[in-house]
Amino acid sequence: MALTTGIVGLPNVGKSTLFNAITRAGAESANYPFCTIDPNVGVVDVPDERMDRLAEMIQPQKVIPTSFQFTDIAGLVKGASKGEGLGNQFLSHIREVDAIIHVVRCFEDENITHVSGQVDPVGDMETINLELVLADLESVERRLDRVLRQKKSGDGEAIKEHEVLEKIHQALAEGRPARQLKLEEEELKRIRSLNLLTLKPMLYAVNVSEEDVVNPHENPHVKAVQEQAVSEGAEVVPISAQLEAEIVELEGEERTQFLQDLGLDSSGLDRLVAAAYRLLGLITYFTAGEKEVRAWTIQEGTRAPQAAGVIHSDFERGFIRAEVVAFDDLMQAGSLLAAREQGMLRSEGKEYIVKDGDVIHFRFNV
C-alpha cells in the first residue's frame, strides 16, 4: 500500500523546496504566494536498512522497496475555508490524502518574504488548523441539517449518526480538531463519507536553517512549535529543506560521510518517513528469494492472510500458511536455510498477526 501524505502550510514556508529535495520531481518553487496551484505528486522509495542487509545476504536479481507518496498542496492562507487564495480547491486536495505533514517555517531570512510579514510559527500553525476546522464545521453543519430531518422520521441510523455529528460539531465549534475526540470505529464509519480534514492524522515538519539542523531544539521557534504540538498530541520533525536538496544528490558512502560530517545519523526524509509510519500505524514486512527481495507496507495488527493479500488477492483467498522468520533471527542465523535448520523459521496460520520486520514466504492454493 502506498502511503499518501499531503504537504501543507502557509505560502513561502519551504513546502515546494522540501518536495523538490525529497522527490527530485522538479515542482516549481519561487518566492511568491500560490506558486503551487495544482498539487504536485511525487513517489519516493522508503529507505530501510533492513532491506539492504537482506539483499546483501541473499543477492537477489531485484530489490524492490515500498513507496511513499508526497502531494505538495498549494499554500493555504487565512480565509481559505471561505475560498480565499483558491482555498476551496486546495482544501479538496487535502481530503484525498491519508495524513498531513504541516510544514512550519522556523528560520529567519529577510530575502524570503513571509505572508504575515514576520516569522511566527505558532501563529502559522493556528492559521492553518483554524481553516481546516472551519471547513469541517461547514461540512458537519450541512450534514446535520439533513440527518436531523431523517432523525425526526424515526430512522435509527440517523439517530446514531446525529449523536456522532453533534459530538464533532461541539469540538469544532470550540476550535478543536475532530481527531482529538478519539472516536470509536463504529462512530468513524458513520461519518467516513464526510472525509473530514481534521480527522486526518497530522505531524509538523519544522523547516530550519542548515545551521540549526544538528541542534534544532536550541532554536526558539522550534521550541514554541514543540510546546504547541505537545498540547495537540502531535509529533515534530526538524528538517532543513535546503540541506535535503544537497543530501538527495549524494549516494552511498558519499551520502553517509556527508551526514556524519554534519553530526546526523539520518536524513530528514528518513526521519519524516519514520514519523509518518508511526502516525498511521504502519509496519513493513519482507519477502525474500533469489528473484527479488521486496518490502511491503501494512497496518499494524494485520493478520497473515490479509498481509498476503497486499501482494495479490489470490494469496489471501487461497492462504494455507505463512513461513515466518524475524529479521533479527535471520541476521543471526546468516541465511534462510540456517534459520530453518535452527528452528527460527516458524509456520503460522490464519490468526497470526504480522510483526514489523518479519520475513515471510506465503503458502497458498487457488
**Alpha carbon distance 164, 171 (integer Å):** 11
**Alpha carbon distance 298, 320 (integer Å):** 20
**Alpha carbon distance 196, 95 (integer Å):** 7
- CA 117, 238, 33, 248 torsion-angle sign: positive
Annotated binding residue at 16? yes
Look up residue 296 and give its three cell numbers: 511491503
Query: Helix, strand, or coil here: 244?
Result: helix
Q: What is the DSSP string of 130-150?
A: HHHHHHHHHHHHHHHHHHHHH
Residue 245: CB atoms within 10 Å: 16
**Alpha carbon distance 74, 36 (integer Å):** 5
Annotated binding residue at 9? no
Annotated binding residue at 13? yes
Q: Which among 194, 196, 150 is positioned nearest to 172, based on CA atoms?
A: 196
Annotated binding residue at 4? no
Annotated binding residue at 40? no
Annotated binding residue at 15? yes
State the DSSP H helix or E strand holding residue 296, giving kind and residue range, or none if neither. strand 292-299
- Long-range contacts, stretch 329-334, CB < 8 angstroms, 24+ apart: 330/54, 330/57, 330/359, 331/53, 331/57, 334/57
Annotated binding-site members: 12-17
Annotated binding-site members for ATP: 12-17
